[in-house]
Amino acid sequence: MKAVDRIMAATFILCWLRFFSSVDCQLDDRFYEKTCPQVEKTIANSVNNSLLLQPRLAAGLIRLHFHDCFVNGCDASILLDTTPSGEAVEKTSRANGFSSKTLECVDQVKADVERECPGVVSCADVLAYAAREAVIQDGLPHYPVKGGRRDGVSSSAKKVPGNLPSPSDSVETMAEMFTRKGLSVKDLVALSGAHSIGHTHCIHLHKRLYNYSTTQAQDPSMDLAHSLSLKSSCPKPGALSKEVTDELMVPLEPSTPLRLDTVYYTQLLNGKGVLQSDQALTNDPTTRGIVERFAQNPSQWAAGFTDAMIRLGKVDVLTGLEGEIRRNCRAVN
């Protein structure tokens, strides 16, 4: 074997051993060093300006990045309004009910980047950087985000079912989903902490509050006072018109709804989780211990959350000559 071949082989093996894939060798924390050196600062300024006016956008930006990566990989396919195939795109799925304000925030961030570096920075990287800034603004430490993701040219609502956790999923179902993405059970519990901010529609709570099983109207794991509070905000189906009911929302963690913190885990241990899938984390022995550790040690959770966000941003990415760099995140070039 020639010397150059041995070097190339060694480099490949090193990359494979490091992260079990070549993804980390293709993403680079200095990817835009020469082509758009101020990109992270530009995105930080743009996101921060939006959050000053609408703090609740932080939850949407984090969720948008997560939903993008779990369906078809971190390729910004969640942002597409249409594709050449003409089929329904991811964002039309009921599981992807993002506010127009969140999507407009991403449009603004991309526009700010395009003014500085036209045709250079992918929408997938914009999402990853924007989510990081949302995390920082809501109380957690800075973490590194590597660049080099490329944008997908397809998006299908048909791929959403089975790839995103639902509000009623069991730990087993969610863990299997995370495993398929190369993430661990600890990552599942850590990233669930994003529910310490944001809101959910009451429609996701109706079964848990009013029609839990054939023998019990309400989930027995719920704290009684907590359930009464939720019922006051989310009336029984039929009490109001469907149009009104569909718009009703409640905070996922009402004590500190604009701050990423471990109050979420403490609330779960007290039977005060809002979503059934969240409360399941304390009911399942596989995850309860992790919930208890995070509740007792905020710094351990912060480290676990940011580490999981780093791994999330590497899920099934397009790199090199794959995909494209969209100029408009809502449409392929």
The candidate with the shortest Cα–Cα distance to 218, out of 318, 83, 229, is: 229
Distances (CA, A) of 280 to 38, 87, 133, 270, 305: 43, 35, 29, 12, 19
State both tokens at 276: 């059934």
Q: Helix, strand or coil for residue 18?
A: helix
Q: Are 256 and 196 in contact (CB under 8 A)?
A: yes
Strands (E), 79-203: 199-201
Distances (CA, A) of 79 to 71, 134, 329: 12, 18, 6
Contacts of 4 (CB under 8 A, 6+ apart): none
State both tokens at 244: 């009104």
Rounded Cα gap, residues 209 and 228, in angstroms: 9
Q: Are 160 and 90 in contact (CB under 8 A)?
A: yes
Rounded Cα gap, residues 133 and 47, in angstroms: 7
Contacts of 309 (CB under 8 A, 6+ apart): 131, 132, 135, 143, 191
Rounded Cα gap, residues 162 and 64, in angstroms: 17
67 labelled catalytic: yes
Q: Which of 67, 195, 199, 204 is catalytic?
A: 67
**Annotated catalytic sites, by residue?**
67
